[in-house]
Amino acid sequence: MRDRKGFSLIELIVVIAILAVVSVVSLRALYSLGSWNVKKCASLIDGGLDQAKVTALSKSDAVFRIYKSGTEYWMALDVNGTEEENQRIAKAPAVITYVTNEGTVSSVEAGDPGSLKLQFDRSSGAFRPIGSTDGGRDIYCSSIIITSGDNTKTVVLYYATGKHQIQ
């Protein structure tokens, strides 16, 4: 009998098929992980807004902030000028942007001018304006968009009522 070295064609096909299945499962898991991170970030923002509203209705001044530090996005709840909670909500490659009632789209960036600050009116529970136009019209944040790759989630803000929901 001859000493056979190497693999048969059938063994090679089986190994390639197993590698193909493993790679498809791995890629699908990575894609799901990106989608999960976007969903988690949107959920954290939604929960933070809930907490900010309850705090604003029970205490004198609460500011909900979303800001970027390096490649990470953070949210914080500042109560009466003191930072009470600070939590990382996303990191690169995620991007957080927001849209105003005027249709302006802005990215949340590093530094104070780049952060998004939201407040609730204590008497009505509605969102307070984030700025005003030269003509004196109030500017409100109407949605917060979290994007990572092909995955996108939007937290829609109803500024007249203070309600918000994830879409």
Express each pLDDT in 118-147 by its tens digit.
999 988 999 999 988 888 899 999 999 999
Express each pLDDT in 4-29 by its tens digit.
677 788 888 999 999 999 988 877 76
Of 152 and 60, more confident? 152
Q: State the Cα–Cα distance between residues 50 and 139, nearest whole angstrom.
A: 21
Token pair, residue 72, equals 């990470």
- Which pLDDT does position 36 carry in this prediction? 65
Domain boundaries defined on the chain: 9-166
Q: Which fold has domain 9-166?
A: minor pseudopilin epsh fold (3.55.40)
Q: State the Cα–Cα distance between residues 68 and 48, nearest whole angstrom.
A: 16
